Amino acid sequence: MRLADHLIEFRNRFLICAVAIIVAMVGGFLLTDAAFEVLRQPIDALNESRGGGVSINFGNVTTAFDLRLQMALTLGVVIASPVWLYQAWMFLMPGLRKGERKYVLGFLGAAIPLFLGGVVLGIIIMPRIIEVMATFAPTEDTIWYDAKTYYSFVLTLCLAVGIAFVVPVILVMLNFAGVVEGRAILKAWRVAVLICALFGAIATPAADVLSMFLLMVPMIVLYFLAVGISMLNDRRRRKRDAAEAAATLDA
């Protein structure tokens, strides 16, 4: 295809993705009440433990509506993910070789569940983080969380954990592409464990060791799982290369 044809195809697929997300935003807007309930659970728990004085603050007249739009957009992107992932796949697929298509499809099949699993884990540890951080506020004072800031904190936490869970899949993809060997990934295990520990410490309060381990341990397990898959792939590649070399010598 000519460059102009590629740009036209990109525009058409982008418009399909945009329409799908906008339509999904309508459904996402209807789900914002349920999302608010999830966000409000840590606040209700704090109110019970502190005897009141904890609330989510909507500082401006339009804050509640603006926040619902942000939540609807986030939910719309998630709901419409099958559409925009399919459109992205169909746009990239003609430029890939047959073997590369298999790898990319495997990457998506592994990355999406891991990302969603990381998001769920972020939601699970989120109340614990908020509870621990609230302990630093004097019990005589009132805690008011700005609604937008509170939502941004939860969204950032969930996205960070979700992306962290996808990193091992990227390592496996680099191995399958022949960029890095499994032994090289394994040699860096000390650095990887340190990075996982630092990420767990940064993403969770320093006083909450339980949340840190809940985040750090799955990341380490996924890292060593990626090492195992990469080393098995290296062994399979060496056997294949040896068989091809033997066949060439026989010929």
**What pLDDT does residue 199 have?**
87
Residue 108 has pLDDT above 90, yes or no: no
- The reply to whether the predicted model has a pTM over 0.85 is no
Higher pLDDT, 106 or 72: 72
Query: What sign results for the dihedral spanned by CA atoms 191, 183, 173, 123?
Result: negative
Distance of CA 36 to the CA centre of its chain: 21
**What pLDDT does residue 251 have?**
66
**What pLDDT does residue 220 have?**
93
73-98 pLDDT tens trace: 999 988 888 888 888 878 877 766 77
| Residue carrying structure tokens 């860096």 | 188
Structure confidence at residue 134 as a pLDDT band (50, 70, 90): confident
200-241 pLDDT tens trace: 888 776 556 777 888 889 999 999 999 999 999 889 888 888
